[in-house]
Structure 1
Amino acid sequence: MDYLNTSKNIAISGSEQKRHLRNMGYYHGYKGYRYIRNSANRIPYTKFDELTAIYEFDSHLKALFYPPAMRIETALKNYVLESIIAIGKSDNFIDIYADLLDNYKQYQFSPSGSHNAKADQYKAELKRRLDLRNRIYRVQTDSFCSGNPIAEHYLNKDINLPIWAIFELLSLGEFGRFVSCLNLHCRQDISRRLGIRQSDDTGATLPQRLIYTLKDLRNAIAHDDVIFDVRFRTGKIDQQVGNAVSNHFSIPPLRFDTITDYLVLLVYLLSLLHFPVATGTHLISSFSDEAEQLHSAVPTSVYHQILYTDQAAKLHALKQYLEQS
């Protein structure tokens, strides 16, 4: 407490604030919440209550987002499962690997003896397919060795795990890689099953991109990382995702540089997957309440660095969409 008072000029005193600091921890609390997005953008705290407000906002958002994120992950895996079983007529990974996980073939070329870009793409896509196969076998091995009951049930009988069981073992990122390796026909079927507007998904790559975008948020929540300023984003998100979501709700394209955009993404996915409207309504209402609490506790300049000035318009568009659904 003395360090925050004297070195950081953050007013903190009393047993209650001391207890708050102890509960959040200095390194996870102050160190984790002293800036927005990057360490150069320090938050000009003057009161410990401001730090507590941002910490609580972040914690409450994680609790709010986790259930729908997990339900969306399960639903996406089931939609993909239905598609590959319907098209491949098998739940055996060996059959699926041979017949459906062959997107690399679209880059096949006639060797001409000279280097060309298509040859590089073919090699890169084939490597992705091989890496996926190796990863799936590694996941099965690790799960068996750690006593996973699904893996033990099949492998003790010397039976390959069915594809639904493999999906249970794959992380969301690995699942996204799986979808990206499927051939065009299968990806198009998945896109249509999800109800994605085909004009927004001409290359049938939107499902995998949505999975990758959701993956960053889901992993950050699961590992209790900071999410309020979207520092969890691992790379640039393809504009196709932002355009598709914005077209769906008739809002400006998303850039995913604010946590509000990830709320919009969750509502979009809940809508595609036909979850009850009340699920999305509750998500929006609870997010609005948390945002209001934050706004009342921190300077307006800080608030608008976290939640941009277009937040209200986005939430209004979401509410209107759900009211008409």
Structure 2
Amino acid sequence: MSNYKSTDALMRHLRNNGIAISGSSQKQQLINTGYFHGYKGYRFFVSSNRRIPFTSYNEINATIQYDTKLKSLLYGKMMLIETALKNIALNTIMAEINSNSIYDMYDKAVSSYKNAPPGTSEDIKKKFQNNKLNLQGSIQNSIAAAYRKENPKITHFYNTVNYNEVPIWAIFEILTMGDFGYLLSCLTQDVRKKISRNIGLNLSSDTNCTLVYKYVYALKDLRNAIAHNDVVYDTRFRKMDPSKPMKQCLMLEMGLPYINFKTIGDYIILICYFLKLLKVSKTEIKAFIREFEKITKEYEGQVSSAVAAITVHPDLFLRMTILKNSI
């Protein structure tokens, strides 16, 4: 027996579950956002056991629109940061190895059994070597996938008689942000430290130089959620717990009492930190923060206080004020 429900039947189902919805306008909203992507996707905050006390479809639609505006606001900044970090890492690596050969990078800049620091245990040496082999496999898979898709950044090197190796810079062009983060994690500590310094990261609490790739992993989770139109505003995309250096760095640099990456505000803070490091103007960064505050306040005005108490963190605007003062 089919469980299919027409849009009118879904509206009746929502009304039966305490959600006020009626009329052609809200019917079209339900069609446009989808019952499953929209209502099912936004009826809870972070996890399904934390239901949001919506009483009208207006509140659900306002939440969907708030999330959409957030993704639009964040997209451009994320692309800027991703491109800049890749370029800084690329330039640092090529300067370090004095070459644009991927094989020279593997040999001189990537941790392995043979280049482990003196005193490294046998288990750690083997871990380095395993990571290096995984990295080589991952990059080769990325090249093969790009060639299959006829990506000109890769086909140029294989379909020309005079070329037989894809340079590092072309490989960086096709790396996903996750693959880029993994590459950074496989580099020697010395090379990671140089990349971190060239970015401008505060390394005072980053003894093992893990900060650069862990921040990339954190940004990757947000970037992928934006790219795939997943829910962003409640940070359900978060796949990693922040390390102590990740929290301490932002607290020191931005003057904040705490960081835990459990609210969208913390990701706004992280983005602003990188924009600051990348020498984006104070005017532009503060305009970005003000736009985030504006769309959040507009959203608060469109939902009940009971809904806002769950969906907007109580100290969000205080933290944004501290952030603006630190820029």
For residue 123 of structure 1, what is the amino acid of its counterpart? K
Residue 8 of structure 2 is matched in structure 1 by none
Moved over 4 A (4+): 107-110
Task: Give the drift of 1:191.
Answer: 1.2
Q: Distance in 2 between matches of 1:155 and 1:237?
A: 41
Correspondence for 2:232 among 219, 227, 231: 227
Match of 2:296? 291
Tell me if 1:5 matches 2:11.
Answer: no
Q: Is the 8 A contact 2:203 2:249 kept in 1?
A: no
> How far 1:312 sits from its partner (Å)?
1.5
| Contact kept? 1:109, 1:119, Cα under 8 Å | no
Q: TM-score, normalised by structure 2?
A: 0.92
269, 273, 290: which one aligns with 1:268: 273
1:170-319 aligned at under 5 Å gives the runs 170-319=175-324
Does 1:67 find its partner at 2:76?
Answer: yes
Question: Is there any run of 5+ residues in structure 1 with no aligned partner, and where?
Answer: 111-117
Q: What percent identity do the matched residue pairs reach?
A: 37
Tell me the residue number matched to 1:137. 140
In 1, are the aligned partners of 2:54 and 2:307 still within 8 Å (CA)?
no
Question: Does structure 1 retain, via aligned residues, the 8 Å contact 2:89–2:195?
Answer: yes
Structure 1 position 122 matched with structure 2 position 125: yes
Offset, 1:253: 2.4
The whole-number CA distance in structure 2 between the counterparts of 1:91 and 1:301 is 57
Name the amino acid aligned to 1:28: H
How many corresponding residue pairs? 314
Task: Name 2:5's counterpart in structure 1.
Answer: none
Residue identity in the other structure for 1:119: E
1:145 CA displacement: 1.4
Name the Cα RMSD after superposition.
Answer: 1.5
**Match of residue 19 from structure 1:** 28
CA contact (8 A) 1:100 1:182 kept: yes
Amino acid of the residue matched to residue 50 of structure 1?
E
- Residue 41 of structure 1 deviates from its aligned partner by 0.5
Deviation, 1:178, is 0.6
SS of 2:308's partner is: helix
Equivalents in 1 of 2:247, 2:41: separation in Å? 28
| Counterpart position of 1:155 | 158
Question: TM-score with structure 1 length normalisation?
Answer: 0.93
Cα contact 1:21–1:29 (8 A) shared by 2 = yes
Question: Retained in 2: the 8 A contact 1:195–1:272?
Answer: yes
CA contact (8 A) 1:80 1:190 kept: yes
- 2:56 matches 1:47: yes
- 8 Å contact kept, 1:108–1:122: no
CA contact (8 A) 1:30 1:51 kept: yes
Between 235-244 and 11-20, the greater mean CA deviation after superposition: 235-244
Query: 2: CA distance between counterparts of 1:87 and 1:217?
Result: 30
